[in-house]
Amino acid sequence: MKETLTKDIMTPGARCIGENDTLATAARLMADLEIGALPICGEDGKLKGMLTDRDIVVKAIANGHDPAQTAAGVLAEGRPYMVDSEDDVHRALEVMEEHQVRRVPVIEDHVLVGIIAQADIARAMAPQQTGETVEQISR
């Protein structure tokens, strides 16, 4: 049986927010794209982290940071979790479960090429596998 690769189920064409772009810019981009998270990319083009709409509200605005003046990179914490486009899809499931994240950036040759979200898992995997993954992410 042929293995399913992350590139086979990812949502392609993921957009980044630059680490020096403001949170207000990120929020506008999220609204325009109707999404709740964006990868943060550095000046070197490499992934620096993930930024969610919740991060903007809870970590920035609620703590008195001005979204028009605060750079997205300020909220890039720790090492970003990602998978390679040639990884088996089960690697993405492992990353999501282990780190309890709902989205995983997909890279190819150190460049962002897509995102795997819970919805992508639900469309591509068996219902039992999807349920187990969602349960592990939500613990």
Kindly state whether residue 1 falls inside one of the protein's structural domains.
no
- Strands in 11-12's sheet, in edge-to-edge order, are 11-12, 111-117, 103-108, 83-84
DSSP letter at 38? Answer: E
Classify residue 110 by its DSSP letter.
T
pLDDT at 2: 64
State the residue for tokens 């993930």. 50
The structural domain count of the chain equals 1
Taking the model in full, what pTM does it have? 0.84
CATH code of the domain in which 25 resides: 3.10.580.10
Q: Are 15 and 51 in contact (CB under 8 A)?
A: no
Which pLDDT belongs to residue 115?
Answer: 94
Which residue range(s) make up the domain with 40?
6-137
Closest CA to 30 of 10, 16, 44: 16
1-55: pLDDT as tens digits: 468 899 999 999 889 999 999 999 999 999 999 999 999 999 888 889 999 999 9
Does any domain span residue 69? yes
